[in-house]
Amino acid sequence: MKEETLQALKEADIDEKMAEFIHQMLVSAMHLYGYIPLNAFWEIFRTYRKDIKQLKLPVFHKRHLLSYVRIAGEEDGILVTTTNEITGDTESDNFVFLMTKELEGGEEDRFFFVRGLLLVQRSDLPRYLPETLDEYLSYNRDPVQAKGSDRLLQYVEQITGNRTEAERIVSEIGTDTIVELPLEETLSKIIVELKQLHRTVNTSQLKKYALRYAKALRIWTNLGWTMHELSTNAPLKSYKPVVLLSDEQVRQFAANGISYDEIVKIGQEYGVDTDMTYNDLPKQ
């Protein structure tokens, strides 16, 4: 990270340890989802609040996230924009929106691609979240690395005889899949390209390995769920009812000797998640 960026973060009350953690969280979010409203990104922090507390980080709030993405987002390959800027609708509520620069279009319409993804995004799914913070942070790796990629890479390398070319082809299949471009179209284009290079292609074998790989990828328009997970109704199994408490209600419970953590624990015993409607983490 550039020295001037670190200095600007320091002035925003974000030390290097906090900045590194937010960076890791942000990169994982972009690999899992491709784009996300800042409010939803903040909710991810809230989901893992108990794990985060164990890291002994300085206490941070939503304002720290907003400051970080505005100061260091570009270095992280993140475009910080707003929903109004994306949609062109100035009448609706306006929210800060984060997206990977890989989705940025040309100068004439920078948001053409992400606007198309938002139109087909599943609205009937909760956002996919790994069970633990460690698993979430494991998505810092390349988003097109998934179960089945090694076998597909090995097979494509047999066809091309070139490791670098094989990696490019697998990456293209993965990149097209996570933005939900039709796999059949991607494979047809690649098969034509290989045949033009006079490569012998077993089409059914290539499709088998590619489909197995594609089913394991985190699809951005599916809010991070894989095709395999959707086929097993995993999102429905992960869903829990949520009880929303206002900050005033939390203060009233505290005045009666009941902490927020105790409320969460009671909810978990009954299979209910507890959340709050205000922006910052509860102060201890």
pLDDT digits (tens, 9 = 90+) for 180-210: 888 999 999 999 999 888 888 899 999 999 9
Q: Are 79 and 96 in contact (CB under 8 A)?
A: no
pLDDT at residue 281 greater than cutoff 50: no
Query: Are 156 and 200 within one domain?
Result: yes
pLDDT band, very low/low/confident/very high, at 279 (cuts 50, 70, 90): very low
User: For residue 227, is it within any domain?
Assistant: no
pLDDT for 7-37, tens place per residue? Answer: 999 999 999 999 999 999 999 999 999 999 9
How high is the pLDDT of residue 12?
93
Query: Are 73 and 173 within one domain?
Result: no
- How are beta strands 242-245 and 273-276 bridged, if at all? parallel
How high is the pLDDT of residue 283?
39
**Three-class SS of residue 57?**
coil
pLDDT at residue 278 greater than cutoff 50: no
- Residue 71: both structure tokens together: 């100061």
What DSSP element (H or E) covers 100? strand 96-100
Longest dimension (CA), the chain: 77
User: For residue 29, is it within any domain?
Assistant: yes
Averaged confidence pLDDT in the chain: 86
pLDDT at residue 147 greater than cutoff 60: yes
User: For residue 183, is it within any domain?
Assistant: yes
Count of the separate structural domains present in the chain:
3
**Three-class SS of residue 108?**
coil
Query: Are 187 and 262 within one domain?
Result: no
Alpha carbon distance 98, 119 (integer Å): 17
User: For residue 233, is it within any domain?
Assistant: no
Query: Are 132 and 166 within one domain?
Result: no
Alpha carbon distance 72, 138 (integer Å): 21
Query: Are 14 and 134 within one domain?
Result: yes
Query: Are 53 and 132 within one domain?
Result: yes
Instruction: Output the CA angle 65-68-69, nearest 5 degrees.
Output: 90
Q: Are 61 and 281 in contact (CB under 8 A)?
A: yes
User: For residue 231, is it within any domain?
Assistant: no
Query: Are 11 and 135 within one domain?
Result: yes
Query: Are 130 and 166 within one domain?
Result: no
How high is the pLDDT of residue 280?
42
pLDDT for 220-277, tens place per residue? Answer: 999 999 999 988 877 765 555 556 667 777 788 888 888 877 877 776 666 566 665 4
Most confident region among 129-138, 256-265, 275-284 by mean pLDDT: 129-138
User: For residue 229, is it within any domain?
Assistant: no
Q: How far apart are the first and last CA of the chain?
A: 32
User: For residue 283, is it within any domain?
Assistant: no
pTM above 0.75, yes or no: yes
How high is the pLDDT of residue 256?
85
Query: Are 119 and 33 within one domain?
Result: yes
Q: Which domain holds residue 119?
A: 3-140
Query: Are 99 and 32 within one domain?
Result: yes
Query: Are 168 and 125 within one domain?
Result: no
User: For residue 52, is it within any domain?
Assistant: yes
How high is the pLDDT of residue 258?
85
Query: Are 11 and 100 within one domain?
Result: yes
